[in-house]
Structure 1
Amino acid sequence: MAGKIPDLEVEARAGTGKGAARAARRNDMVPGIVYGGGEDPQPIQIPFNVLLKRLKAGRFMSTLQNMKIEGQEDFRVICRNVQRDLVKDLPTHIDFMRLRRTSKINLFIHVDVVGEDVSPGLKKGGTLTLVRPEVELMVTAGDIPESITIDVSEAEVGDSITISSVKLPEGAVPTIDRDFVIATLSAPSSLKSAGDDEDETEETEVLEAPAIVGDEAES
């Protein structure tokens, strides 16, 4: 994943049950629980505004987090469920799963591009389009790559770079079970325009031909 794992500061929550959860919400906190990893469940609470901002940023449930609780060692978690108010659609409770280093998880990994300076297709004026700036992979929690790399140094106009051409980190597997496209190298816009003009000329000639034949037949 691109960059370091983001920190998520939460507070340990005293007590469980509906009463404790209501008390947390009255204090503008969202109650939650952390489970798994061979540890006892840990009741927590997170400031409402902090959680809402993270949720709006996108992909919260597929982003590894470094959870920080005062008085405890940091540990890695991933969100597994967000309960929401049925009317307001705002978070009311959140579940996290604690991860061991050997845990397998699905994450979106950033795509880097190399070889643009020598690509023959780009030198001809072609346009490189990243269809997938990020690719979802199943990875090991203790060995998460910052990115994967595609090489376009030999790419020509019209080529596509697919996941099968990418050397993935050891233990990483795509979550999509097919050879999907990551990037394409399309023709220059000027070349496309010239091709369009040729098509229009050919079409005009085809349309005019029957009219000429018809006039000669009448005469």
Structure 2
Amino acid sequence: MKFVAFERAKQGTGASRRLRNTGKTPGIVYGGEGQPQLIELDHNALWHALKKEAFHSSILDMELDGKAAKVLLRDVQFHPFKQLVLHIDFQRVDAKTKLHMKVPLHYVNAEESQAVKFEHCVVNHVVAELEVSCLPADLPEFITVDLSGLKKGTSLHLNDITLPKGVAAVTRGKENPVLVSVVATVAEEAPAPAAAAPAAAPAAAKAPAAPKK
């Protein structure tokens, strides 16, 4: 994805407030061989870009003062209740340096699995994104995970999926975390109770005895 940024001369709370009042968003770009640089972006264009998944998880082409640079979105600050971006940070990308990035997981084919199709189970996505380490050229926009093999009573772990070439998962705490769990929601129907024996017919009423002569 591409976006345009402009050099920002002034900094400070007051300057940033005045900038936002003119429809701009203050930001900064840092890292790589250059010095940190203050920038500003058109707020409306930025707001729409932030709604796209790729803007958060892929390498971006930033045009600044007529020059192109590869950057990653590193932080964004929103207003607590207004539809307003307060500040945004980008990091320059070095083609020869590995980076750490969170990549979305796209789960597919769950409805075709035995667990969902025949065993009336619900698939819970425990992990929505995965932190990875790779060179910038190998960074995927997302990772597709096929769930067609899920069965009742099973879980899908990190070691069960194949990552793209050149990409390694970064785990913290658990080496093989659960990505997806399968939960049964419909209990097996209990057999119908045996029909009760028919009640005994009531005894016929005794006829009154004939009067003695």
TM value normalised by structure 2: 0.65
Gaps of 5+ in 2: 194-213
- Map of 2:38 onto structure 1: 43
Q: Quick one: which amino acid aligns to residue 136 of structure 1?
A: L
Structure-to-structure mapping, 1:170-185, within 5 angstroms: 170-178=166-174, 179-185=176-182
> For the pair shown, which has the larger CA radius of gyration, 1 or 2?
2
- Map of 2:163 onto structure 1: 168
* Structure 1, 122-131 or 28-37: larger mean CA deviation: 122-131
RMSD, aligned α-carbons: 3.8
Cα distance in 2, alignment partners of residues 123 and 87 from structure 1: 42
Gaps of 5+ in 1: 1-5, 202-219
8 Å Cα contact 2:123-2:180 kept in structure 1: yes
Cα distance in 2, alignment partners of residues 182 and 171 from structure 1: 17
Once the two structures are TM-superposed, the CA of residue 36 in structure 1 deviates from its matched residue by 0.9
8 Å Cα contact 1:127-1:186 kept in structure 2: yes
Structure 1 residues 28, 125: CA separation in 2 closer, same or farther (over 3 Å shift)? same
SS of the residue 1:194 aligns to: coil
- Map of 2:101 onto structure 1: 106
CA deviations over 1:57-93 (Å, ceiling 9, x no partner):
49899533513325212412222353x6689694433
1:148 lines up with 2:143 in the alignment: yes
TM value normalised by structure 1: 0.63
8 Å Cα contact 1:13-1:44 kept in structure 2: yes
- Map of 2:75 onto structure 1: 80
Structure 1 residues 183, 17: CA separation in 2 closer, same or farther (over 3 Å shift)? closer
Count of residues in correspondence between the two structures: 187
Once the two structures are TM-superposed, the CA of residue 114 in structure 1 deviates from its matched residue by 6.0
Once the two structures are TM-superposed, the CA of residue 45 in structure 1 deviates from its matched residue by 0.8
* Structure 1, 175-184 or 95-104: larger mean CA deviation: 175-184
